Structure 1
Amino acid sequence: MSAPASLAGRPLYEPIAPLLARFAGGLPDAAALCALLREVVPGAASGSGRPIRFVPPPADAPAYEQHIDATGEVPTRPDDWHDFFNALAWCVWPRSKAACNALHLAEQSAREAAGLAGRGPRRDALTQFDECGILVVSADPEVSALLAAHAWEVAFWQRRDRLLATTRFLVFGHGSWDQLRAPFFGLCAKAIHRVVDPAWLALSPADRQAEADAWLAAHLADPAQPFGKASLAPLPLLGIPGVTPASEHADYYRDTRQFRPRRNPPVVA
């Protein structure tokens, strides 16, 4: 098992790179993760305002999101990369994680009041974003539109320099960080696209991340734009420059098994 610190310099780990660098040995336990959270974001809370704590999975806990909402306890398995990355996501996306938790509970209540069974498509989309979401922030509207339109070769290759200069890919999904430890053909994220003023790029990485978290939390909870499956656009992670050496050739982006053309209209916020 590689140490978390060995991932700190890899592409797409930027939001959590300073935290990964702290762990040169094995994965930290729940107590160490709680201490980290209290240090970097002491006010982290569930959607209902309960202080977040990482705990071993209880034997008789209710459903996952309901347990977090009611207690603030995030079940965290020992020596588990997936749950480790989830804890780090709470450290760097605390507002957005809380917003997702609140939306889960609100949707559950709404469905129960309407007499509807099951989780419903909105909760499924929330879970998908929590696992493999990414916020794509660009100061170039054309690059953002090309990505949303699945114009992969144009965006990632023909406009490569502009993309690198103007666009940042901020992973939200802890499942994606886990998968990126050993990237595989076809690895895909679910993206929310955002166009910003170029001044955003001049912010420090920490300030960019904090601003992105505040924006994303508000975006997810915006009643004028109800979150759902249509809010998310596919993004092949291995197309992002630097993630794999294979992307250093134009022909790479012509493989439609991985870089599929668009079937639905893009969503650009």
Structure 2
Amino acid sequence: MATGLSVSSFERIDWSRPWFAPFAERGARWQRAALESEAAYLAELNRDACASGQTTGRGKPLAFIAQDDLPPGAAYEAHIGATGCVPTRRNLHDFFNALMWFTFPRIKAALNARQSEAIDELGIGPTRGGVRDTLTLFDENALLFATADPSLAEALRNFDWHTLLVENRSAWGERCEVRSFGHALLEKLIAPYKACTGHAWIVEVPNEYFSWSDAQQRALLDETTSASIEREPLASRMFAPLPVLGIPGWWPANDDPAFYDDKQVFRSGRRAR
């Protein structure tokens, strides 16, 4: 769902931000094309799609089409699954969605496959149903929390912010890290605010993960997470809320432990109570 931001909003992307930086090389090229014209933008996306060999949830070659080319009455996810063509508007919401097809291609394909299966089974109704709601939540608002330390995962699940973000601050980059995924979340982070919260999907990784290259790390997260999406019963309780600006190294103000004293943002949560 778009927020109505104009094309000029592309100029507001700050690729130095830690939530955008991993996508900067490809993203800055797309950004220039988007500011030029819709035709130039779609051509740039499709050049990358052709070069990647990426497929969607049902094995169709990935491509990007104008939103107006989606046939009347066609369901968005079902159309992607059946044709490989992703209806795409020239706005930030769809821009970040397209970037994820190249950053975590297997996760995107797995999400599309499960959505397509649910549509086949239940059709399109006034509500999506629990599985489709969870898939949409992942697609729109997920963060990938990779950790080699079960105690840090437990702190996240239990809203134990002091343990996770203050006491174990040195663990970030050595025993845990976060990767952006949700495209609606990335759109919100054009203008970051303290209460902006992602839904963290916890991924257990080996200790040596933190010495690997970025490409190796992304490949493991892509493979592990997509496998979970493909086979597990899905529900929204599988996520853990995580205020994005609280992530160590992601916002200068959180160097001060008092940053986390804001109970309106860093709440105790039902599980902690």
TM-score (norm 2): 0.86
The answer as to 2:221 corresponding to 1:212 is yes
* d(CA) in 1 for partners of 2:25, 2:71: 35
The number of residues matched between the two structures is: 258
User: Displacement of 1:133 after TM fit?
Assistant: 0.7
Report if aligned partners of 1:3, 1:26 keep a CA contact under 8 Å in 2: no
Give the % identical residues: 33
The correspondence for 1:104, drawn from 97, 111, 115, is 115
User: Displacement of 1:127 after TM fit?
Assistant: 0.6
The equivalent residue for 1:71 is 83
Q: Which moved more, 1:230-239 or 1:55-64?
A: 55-64
* d(CA) in 2 for partners of 1:246, 1:106: 44
The correspondence for 2:99, drawn from 62, 84, 88, is 88
The answer as to 2:71 corresponding to 1:60 is yes
* d(CA) in 2 for partners of 1:186, 1:12: 15
The equivalent residue for 2:178 is 169
User: Displacement of 1:214 after TM fit?
Assistant: 1.1
Extract unaligned runs of 5+ from structure 2: 1-7, 35-39
Extract unaligned runs of 5+ from structure 1: none
* d(CA) in 1 for partners of 2:180, 2:11: 16
Report if aligned partners of 2:159, 2:269 keep a CA contact under 8 Å in 1: yes
Higher helix share: 2
Calculate the aligned-residue CA RMSD, in Å: 2.3
The equivalent residue for 2:5 is none
Q: Which amino acid aligns with 1:146?
A: A
User: Displacement of 1:3 after TM fit?
Assistant: 5.8
User: Displacement of 1:14 after TM fit?
Assistant: 4.4
* d(CA) in 2 for partners of 1:208, 1:187: 25
* d(CA) in 1 for partners of 2:13, 2:77: 31
User: Displacement of 1:50 after TM fit?
Assistant: 1.2
The equivalent residue for 1:137 is 146
CA offset digits 1:104-141 (Å, max 9, x no partner): 122233335xxx97420110111111011111001222
Report if aligned partners of 1:12, 1:169 keep a CA contact under 8 Å in 2: no
User: Displacement of 1:161 after TM fit?
Assistant: 0.9
TM-score (norm 1): 0.87
* d(CA) in 2 for partners of 1:138, 1:247: 21
The equivalent residue for 1:22 is 29
The equivalent residue for 1:34 is 46
User: Displacement of 1:90 after TM fit?
Assistant: 0.3
Q: Which amino acid aligns with 1:60?
A: P
Report if aligned partners of 1:50, 1:72 keep a CA contact under 8 Å in 2: yes
Q: Which amino acid aligns with 1:91?
A: F
Runs of 4+ in 1 over 6 A off after TM superposition: none
The correspondence for 2:245, drawn from 224, 235, 238, is 238
* d(CA) in 1 for partners of 2:208, 2:96: 30
User: Displacement of 1:255 after TM fit?
Assistant: 0.9
CA offset digits 1:226-249 (Å, max 9, x no partner): 122122111111110232222121
The answer as to 2:203 corresponding to 1:178 is no
* d(CA) in 1 for partners of 2:205, 2:219: 15
User: Displacement of 1:56 after TM fit?
Assistant: 0.5
